[in-house]
Amino acid sequence: MTKATFLGLASRWPPCRRIIVGSFLVILALFAWHVAALAAQLTVIWTQSSADVTGTSIERSTGATGSFAEVKTTGPGVTSFTDGSLADATTYCYRLRAFNGAGYSDYSSPPACGTTLQTFGLAVVKIGAGSGTVTSAPAGITCGPSCSGSFASGTVVNLTAAPTAGSTFTGWSGAGCSGTGTCVMTLTAATTVTASFASGSPSAPTVAISTPTSAPSYSTNAAQVVLAGTSSSGAGVTQVSWSNSGGGAGTAAGTTNWTASGIALQPGQNVLTVTARDAAGNTGTAALTVTYATATGGLVAAYGFNEGTGTTTADASGNGFTATLVGGPTWDIEGSVTAITFNVRGSFARSS
C-alpha cells in the first residue's frame, strides 16, 4: 500500500485505521435520464476497491472546464447518486473521492461528464361546463390536480380524457388532436392542448336516411337498394350499421356520411333499420320501409331498338331490364328510322 501524508500529520493517524490512498474509485456509468414532470437529472454509478470507506464525496462542475464544488456526501456502502434539478441541455462533470476517519483518497480520474436532456412543457387546458380528468402516458399529467408536465424532447405522449358522472367529453383541440379518442403527440416544443367537457350525460346519436328517399317509405321493382345518409353525436359516431326485417344485416361505409350498398330485398315490405353508435356506447336509429314489387303480370319490359349501334338495348318500360343482343343481329338505319335485323338462325335479344 502506498503511503501518503494527510495535512502533514501522518504520525497522528490512528493505528487502527487505514488511510485511503490511490484513485480506487471507478465511475462505471454516467447517464442522463428524465422523470416526467421533474427537472432534468443525471445519475452517477461507481465501485469501490476498499472496504475501509466511511463515505464518498461527490463534486460537480458545469462543463468540462468549470470549477468543481461538492454537491453530495454519501454514507458507507452507497455507490450511486442522482443529481436532480439540473438545467436542461447542459453538460455537467463529476469527480469523486472516498474518505474515512483518516482522510480522503485521490479523486477519480478522469472526471465523468454527461449532458441533461432537453425538455418541453405540455399544458392541458380544460374548458366547458362539464368536468373530467386528463391523464398522460408516460406519467406526468393527472388533470385534476396537475394540468402540466415536462417531457424529454421527442417523447411520444398519449393523453386520455375521462368525463365524470353527469358530464361528457366532447373533444380535443391543439397539437393536431381532434375527436374524442386518445390524443397522441410527439413533443418537440412547448405545447398546449385543450380538452372540452360538457355538462349532462351524452345524448343518443342522430341518424338520417336521404337515399333513395328521405320519406318514411319507398317502392321499387329492383331486387336491391342502396341506402345513404348522415349521422352525428357529441361523443363521435364510431359505426353505422343496417338490418332488414326480411333478413340480412351489415355495416355501412363511413360514419358522418355513410353508404350501405347492395341491400337485398324480399318481395313485399322490407323495414330497413339504420343504427349509429357513438364512442360512449349510445345508439340512435332511423328506418325506411321499402316495398319490393316483383313483376307478376302486365308489362315486364319494352324495347324500342332505337340505339342504332352497340350490343345492348334499353328497357323502355322503366323496369330496368336492359337486353343484350346475342348472335350478331344488324342495325338498319333508313332516314330517321332505326331498326334491327335478327338472324333467324340464332340472333336474339336476351334480358335478365
CA distance 170 to 178: 10
Point out the least confidently predicted range of 138-142, 318-322, 339-343, 348-352: 348-352
Considering 165, 199, 233, which residue would you say is the last residue of a domain?
A: 199
Q: Are residues 132 and 187 in the same domain?
A: yes
For 61-76, write each residue's pLDDT tens digit: 999 899 999 999 999 9
Q: Which residue has the cell 472496504?
A: 51
Decide which of 35 and 164 is more confident. Answer: 164
Read off the CATH number of the domain in which 50 is found: 2.60.40.10
What local confidence, expressed as pLDDT, does residue 210 receive?
95
Residue 332 located in a structural domain: yes
Number of domains in the chain: 4
Cell for 337?
328510322
Q: Are residues 161 and 109 in the same domain?
A: no
Residue 165 located in a structural domain: yes
Q: Does the model's pTM come out above 0.85?
A: no
For 93-127, write each residue's pLDDT tens digit: 999 999 998 899 889 888 989 888 888 999 999 99
Where does residue 177 rank: exposed (0-12), middle (13-18), buried (19+ CB within 10 A)?
Answer: middle
CA distance 320 to 331: 22
Give the structural domain span for 192. 119-199
Residue 300 located in a structural domain: no
pLDDT surpasses 50 at 343: yes
Q: Are residues 125 and 110 in the same domain?
A: no
Considering 199, 219, 249, which residue would you say is the last residue of a domain?
A: 199
Residue 283 located in a structural domain: yes
Considering 60, 89, 115, which residue would you say is the last residue of a domain?
A: 115
